[in-house]
Amino acid sequence: MKISALLTRGTAPSELVEAELDDPRPDEVIVRIEAVGVCHTDLVTRTELGDQPAVLGHEGCGTVERVGSSVDQLALGERVVISFASCGGCTQCRAGHPGYCAWATALNGSGRRLDKSSTLRVRNEPVFSSFFGQSSFATAALMAAASCVPVGDVPPEAVAPLGCGFLTGAGAVLNVLRPRPGDRLLVIGAGGVGAAAALTARSEGVEVIVAEPVAARRALPARYGVTAVASLDDPIPPVTHALDTTGRPGSIARALALLQPRGVLALVGLGPAEVTFDVRTLMLRGLHVRGCVEGDADPSVLIPELIQRYRSGLLPLDQLVTTYPLAAFDRAVADQQAGRTLKPVLVPTS
Ligand SMILES: [Zn+2]
Ligand SMILES: [Zn+2]
């Protein structure tokens, strides 16, 4: 099937190209992309791949256009959010933790299907595709039917980031930290992940403090009852829970210092591979430090729950996103990096 896809080569300017998308296999589907979020991992991978031509994008939302012969759980025309790929059969998948799937790296980051076949060709050459099992910076994408979560009649641009960024922030709160009313959560960084985490915690009735240096990113959580400070050096009362989305060693150390005894810090941002902390502080105060990916979520469970919160007005996802045409990817990234946009979402049809 002929599609338009956004081809990137490292940080060189991206280009919209004609591409040939493979036919769906029995367990796969093709989704006509209506909206796709830009996530930090797209930018990291783009850089890591260097000159290798790639079609990235892993927060797709759209309507089911073609289904493989054994797919019976999705109907043509149905709107779905496309999340990360997992095998469904390994120990972690069967326990409801597909983020830790034994095949996670091969399925989401190898640029191919598990059998090493490519799903996308540009000028008759295979390109890095199947990114997070989807490669959705395109007018249509191919993925396992199991990656698709039906979402009903909701604005595609508001819910597309539930495939990764918003899922990561919301899941870190609901699945990992689990603060209760009366608790106090510190969120470090208010990009797409941090803002989703802060608003999700507010929807649970939890007191939330966000530390974020960019004034424009502080404004939105502040409108929803979050206390927003510019720096971790500002006065911050002790907290029961903390979420670091930055990966910065100084921020992680400060979060540990602010935690009350038996407090929990969850790490969802990647910075330097190694961070040092004081074992004595950790031990004597009974602190927990937890890592997690994709909010430790089963997307088929958490995405419908978050959509429910969005529909009932508890989680204003539409306030977090700014839309751009697919071809304006480079501008969207520049706006995000300059703090002008919190969460860019590309709309292929605009
Ligand atoms: Zn698995
Ligand atoms: Zn992501």
pLDDT of residue 350: 74
pTM, full prediction: 0.96
pLDDT band at 139 (very low <50, low <70, confident <90, very high): very high
pLDDT of residue 277: 85
Q: What is the CA radius of gyration of the chain?
A: 20
Using CA atoms, how far residue 9 sits from 3, 21, 44, 53, in Å, is 19, 19, 12, 5
pLDDT band at 117 (very low <50, low <70, confident <90, very high): very high
The alpha carbon of 229 and the centre of ligand 2 are apart by a number of angstroms equal to 25
pLDDT of residue 219: 93
pLDDT at 146 over 80: yes
- What is the rounded distance in angstroms from the CA atom of residue 49 to the CA atom of residue 47? 5
User: Using one digit for the tens of pLDDT, what is the confidence trace for 309-329?
Assistant: 999 999 999 999 999 999 999
**Which residues does residue 18 pair with via DSSP β-bridges, in sequence order?**
4
- What is the rounded distance in angstroms from the CA atom of residue 346 to the CA atom of residue 138? 9
The alpha carbon of 202 and the centre of ligand 1 are apart by a number of angstroms equal to 32
pLDDT of residue 15: 97
User: Using one digit for the tens of pLDDT, what is the confidence trace for 37-86?
Assistant: 999 999 999 999 999 999 999 999 999 999 999 999 999 999 999 999 99
pLDDT of residue 271: 84
Q: Which residue spans within 129-183 are E strands per DSSP?
A: 140-144, 148-150
State the fold for domain 170-293: Rossmann fold (3.40.50)
The alpha carbon of 111 and the centre of ligand 1 are apart by a number of angstroms equal to 18
What three-state secondary structure class fits 115? coil
CATH of the domain spanning 2-153+320-347: 3.90.180.10
- Mean pLDDT (whole number) for 15-38: 98
The alpha carbon of 190 and the centre of ligand 2 are apart by a number of angstroms equal to 15
Q: How many CA atoms lie within 13 A of 234 on its CB side?
A: 12
- Specify whether the CB–CB gap between 42 and 58 falls below 8 A: yes
The alpha carbon of 2 and the centre of ligand 2 are apart by a number of angstroms equal to 26
User: Using one digit for the tens of pLDDT, what is the confidence trace for 154-188?
Assistant: 999 999 999 999 999 999 999 999 999 999 999 99
The alpha carbon of 87 and the centre of ligand 1 are apart by a number of angstroms equal to 4
By the CB criterion, residues less than 5 angstroms from ion ligand 1 are 86-87, 90, 93, 101
Q: Which ligand is nearest to the CA of 269?
A: 2
Q: Would you give the DSSP letter of residue 131?
A: G
pLDDT of residue 254: 95
The alpha carbon of 41 and the centre of ligand 2 are apart by a number of angstroms equal to 5
pLDDT of residue 203: 95
pLDDT of residue 349: 87
What three-state secondary structure class fits 162? helix
Residue 44 CB: number of other CB atoms within 10 A? 11
pLDDT of residue 211: 98
Average pLDDT taken over every residue of the chain: 96
User: Using one digit for the tens of pLDDT, what is the confidence trace for 258-310?
Assistant: 999 999 999 999 888 888 888 998 999 999 999 999 999 999 999 999 999 99
pLDDT at 241 over 80: yes
The alpha carbon of 39 and the centre of ligand 2 are apart by a number of angstroms equal to 5
The alpha carbon of 51 and the centre of ligand 1 are apart by a number of angstroms equal to 31
- Domain boundaries defined on the chain: 2-153+320-347, 170-293
Angle between helices 299-311 and 192-203 (to 10 degrees): 70
Buried-exposed string 293-323: b where 16+ CB fall within 10 A, e elsewhere: bbbbbbbeebbeebbebbeeeebbbeebbeb
